[in-house]
């Protein structure tokens, strides 16, 4: 889910809504939660030397120094001309502190003689004279720009800056890598404004037709590239990039949806895995559960409804006497439901020419996203207070920030909203979970949950592009992958991070007592030191390590 830390409120809501809407285990999760980053102000003290045990061969659970053994698999012969490239860095025209380059990849890796595109790279050069190599980074989304992500150099500790050339890349079809507008500004506005809880079958049919039309128009605009934007293709591109920078193995930090790219790479290019950190993971399991029943769907909905109610109760408790909805979670929830129901009939006026009214859909976007980000709660309180008084301006502003919309009505190209659809639809085939919706009784038990995260039609209905070929991703690399996550992550549940660690045999799982999305560089000194020991010094932590709260 989202460039993770681009200074705006997360773009993760839409994908989270879709996850809850289909009531399937949260496998597509992971948009970015765009939080302001906690900056590194000093280098952690050098740790006590680890035990002499090596982690080469099958990775064990003990801490120790990572040593690479064995020869990596050869490069694919059919792609020889792409693997023969050597990256040519030049100073970036827009920022002389960085180097820029482009590397050609095939649009279709199965047809390497066909069309090609250029993948855009941006390098933050190492501060030492003799770096270990290149550390590729990906911010998630899908749709986040890696070339923008790497421009936040303070996200990376001093030891990482010294050890690595840090390189961000825009995945195929995103940003400067032949990026295109999968959805237009007008389509996005219509999607966010639409009634998310239609009372009639005709209203639900309208949502289904609109979703299918968006998928079709995206494929038409993007052509062959739009049909080939899945994470398997991105992982194959990444291996070409690895060779182009001259590294024998891939060293990688991926967060949120970027963890799926890393996991797929590890599955496909296992012998090429170097030092890899997967932060706040998306479960890679895309297998269907054909035996799912209505009881299963209802049980899952009750679970998420209970979780959502607890989150809303925390919000009410935090705002206290300032809460315009009241101080009791039950009555506050009922008041918010009443506000949303009123917006379905009479939208609120705003001061924005490009968004003159706040509909129920826009309000759901703002409130749902705001609740996921405790740092934004004071602003959400102000927006709700103004809305109750009849002014939708602050709620409209909140919603626009949440989805990356400018006040002039435009959306940047490399964002989740504009770019995620062809990746999401390629990575996650339709599942039986999506065919069933929670029973009315369950939604009535959790009425606010039913308004903020309602059942919605699949956005990938009628998808005709490429589908992921391996729906059960796993690997057993010779060296341990570091998998980290927060115990109360509101976007990608810790269960997904734990599951990914199980699927990557020999990995080291480190959890943090925190309730945010993204573990590294978010202010927890313990996990920051673990990541920097791993990447800068090649020291693997003990498996199952838990980091206390900040």
Identify which of 3, 6, 5, 12 has the alpha carbon closest to the alpha carbon of residue 402.
12
Residues 432 and 519 grouped into a single domain: no
Residue keyed to tokens 């995260």: 453
Residues 542 and 405 in one domain: no
Tell me the pLDDT tens digit for each residue of 112-170: 999 999 999 999 999 999 999 999 999 999 989 999 999 987 789 999 999 999 999 99
Within this chain, do residues 209 and 330 fall inside the same structural domain, yes or no? yes
pLDDT, one tens digit per residue, over 247-282 is 999 999 999 999 999 999 999 999 999 999 999 999
Is-contact 445 494, C-beta < 8 A?
Answer: no
User: 54 pairs with which residues across the strands?
Assistant: 65
Q: Which pLDDT score, from 0 to 100, does residue 266 have?
A: 98
| Non-local CB neighbours of 130 within 8 Å, separated by 6+ positions | none
**Angle of helix 294-319 relative to helix 329-345, nearest 10 degrees?**
110
Q: What is the pLDDT of residue 92?
A: 97
The pLDDT assigned to 34 comes to: 31
Cα separation, 480 vs 478, whole angstroms: 7
Is 5 part of a structural domain of the chain?
A: no
The CA distance from 425 to 464, in Å, is: 9
Please give the pLDDT value at position 45.
31
Does residue 111 fall inside a structural domain?
Answer: yes
Instruction: Give the pLDDT band of residue 386 (cuts 50, 70, 90).
Output: very high
With respect to residue 396, please indicate whether it lies within any of the assigned structural domains: yes
Q: Are 61 and 113 members of one domain?
A: yes
What pLDDT score does 502 carry? 97
Mean residue pLDDT of the chain comes to 87
Report whether 267 contacts 232 (CB < 8 A).
Answer: no
Give the pLDDT of residue 126: 96
Structural domain ending residue among the three candidates 426, 457, 488: 457
Q: Are residues 217 and 94 in the same domain?
A: no
Among 16-25, 226-235, 441-450, the range scoring the smallest mean pLDDT is 16-25
Residue 207 included in any domain: yes
The closest alpha carbon to 315, from 452, 441, 141, belongs to 452
Structure tokens at 473: 């991703």
Range of the domain at 130: 37-172+228-283+468-547
SS (H, E, C) 60-78: CCCCEECCCCCCCCCCCHH
Query: Are 328 and 210 contained in the same domain?
Result: yes
DSSP of 333-363: HHHHHHHHHHHHHSPEE-S-SS--EE-HHHH
> Alpha helices, DSSP H only, in 245-357?
258-268, 294-319, 329-345
Same domain for 69 and 165, yes or no, is yes
Q: What is the rounded average pLDDT of the residues 311-340?
A: 94
CB neighbours (10 Å) of residue 202? Answer: 8
Distance CA 337, CA 245 (A): 54
Q: CA-to-CA distance for 134 and 396, rounded, in angstroms?
A: 42
**Which of 457, 484, 518 is the last residue before a domain boundary?**
457
The mean pLDDT value for 307-323 works out to: 93
Shared domain for 481 and 444, answered yes or no, is: no
The CATH number that applies at residue 249 is 3.40.50.1820
Cα 112 to Cα 24, 108, 115, 268, 466, distances in angstroms: 36, 6, 8, 18, 16
Q: Is the pLDDT of residue 21 over 50?
A: no
Nearest to 391 by CA among 400, 382, 399: 382
Asked whether residue 364 is assigned to any structural domain, the reply reads yes
The 8 Å CB, 24+ separation contacts for 269-273 are 269/73, 269/235, 269/239, 270/73, 270/475, 270/476, 270/477, 271/70, 271/71, 271/72, 271/73, 271/477, 271/478, 272/72, 272/73, 272/239, 272/242, 272/248, 273/249, 273/475, 273/477, 273/478, 273/479, 273/481
Residues 149 and 294 in one domain: no
- Residue range 54-62: mean pLDDT, rounded: 44
Closest C-alpha among 50, 80, 85, 42 to residue 66: 50
- Picking from 404, 436, 457, the residue at the C-terminal end of a domain is 457
Evaluate if residue 41 carries a pLDDT over 80.
Answer: no
Least confident of 167-181, 388-402, 423-437: 423-437
List of E strands, 390-489: 482-486
Is the model's pLDDT at 86 over the cut of 80?
Answer: yes
Please tell me the predicted confidence (pLDDT) of residue 373: 86
Number of domains in the chain: 2
- pLDDT-derived band at 59 (thresholds 50, 70, 90) equals very low
Domain membership flag for residue 13: no
């Amino acid at each position: 889910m989202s460039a993770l830390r681009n200074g705006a409120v997360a773009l993760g809501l839409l994908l989270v809504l879709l996850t809850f809407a289909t009531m399937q285990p949260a496998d597509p999760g992971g948009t970015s939660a765009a939080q302001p980053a906690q900056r590194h102000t000093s280098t952690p003290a050098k740790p006590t030397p680890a035990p002499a045990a090596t982690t080469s061969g099958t990775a064990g659970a003990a801490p120790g120094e990572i040593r690479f053994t064995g020869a990596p698999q050869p490069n694919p012969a059919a792609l020889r001309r792409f693997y023969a490239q050597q990256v040519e860095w030049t100073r970036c025209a827009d920022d002389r502190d960085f180097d820029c380059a482009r590397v050609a990849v095939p649009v279709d890796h199965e047809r390497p003689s066909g069309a090609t595109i250029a993948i855009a790279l941006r390098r933050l050069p190492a501060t030492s004279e003799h770096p270990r190599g290149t550390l590729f980074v990906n911010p998630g989304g899908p749709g986040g720009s890696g070339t923008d992500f790497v421009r936040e150099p303070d996200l990376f500790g001093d030891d990482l800056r010294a050890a690595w050339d840090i390189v961000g890349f825009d995945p195929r079809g995103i940003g400067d890598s032949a990026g295109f507008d999968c959805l237009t500004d007008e389509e996005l506005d219509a999607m966010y404004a639409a009634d998310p809880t239609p009372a009639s079958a005709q209203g639900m049919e309208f949502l289904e037709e609109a979703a299918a039309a968006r998928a079709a128009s995206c494929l038409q605009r993007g052509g062959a590239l739009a049909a080939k934007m899945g994470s398997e293709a991105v992982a194959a591109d990444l291996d070409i990039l690895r060779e182009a920078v001259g590294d024998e193995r891939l060293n990688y930090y991926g967060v949120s949806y970027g963890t799926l790219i890393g996991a797929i790479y590890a599955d496909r290019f296992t012998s090429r895995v170097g030092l890899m950190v997967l932060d706040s993971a998306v479960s890679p399991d895309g297998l269907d559960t054909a035996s799912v029943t209505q009881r299963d769907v209802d049980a899952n909905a009750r679970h998420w409804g209970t979780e959502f109610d607890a989150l809303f109760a925390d919000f009410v408790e935090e705002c206290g006497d300032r809460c315009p909805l009241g101080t009791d979670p039950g009555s506050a929830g009922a008041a918010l439901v009443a506000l949303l129901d009123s917006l379905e009939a009479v939208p609120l006026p705003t001061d924005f020419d490009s968004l003159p009214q706040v509909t129920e859909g826009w309000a759901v976007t703002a409130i749902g996203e705001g609740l996921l980000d405790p740092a934004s709660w004071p602003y959400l309180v102000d927006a709700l207070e103004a809305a109750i008084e009849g002014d939708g301006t602050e709620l409209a502003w909140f919603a626009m920030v949440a989805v990356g919309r400018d006040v002039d009505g435009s959306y940047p190209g490399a964002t989740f909203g504009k770019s995620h659809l062809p990746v999401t639809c390629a990575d996650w085939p339709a599942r039986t979970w999506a065919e069933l919706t929670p029973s009315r009784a369950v939604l009535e038990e959790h009425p606010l949950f039913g308004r903020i995260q309602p059942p919605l039609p699949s956005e990938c209905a009628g998808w005709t592009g490429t589908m992921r070929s391996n729906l059960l991703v796993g690997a057993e690399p010779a060296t341990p992958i570091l998998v980290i996550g927060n115990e109360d992550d509101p976007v990608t549940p810790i269960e997904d991070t734990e599951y990914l660690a199980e699927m990557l045999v020999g990995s080291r799982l480190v959890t943090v007592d925190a309730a945010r999305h993204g573990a590294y560089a978010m202010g927890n000194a313990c996990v920051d030191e673990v990541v920097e020991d791993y990447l800068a010094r090649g020291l693997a932590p003990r498996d199952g390590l838990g980091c206390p709260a900040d």
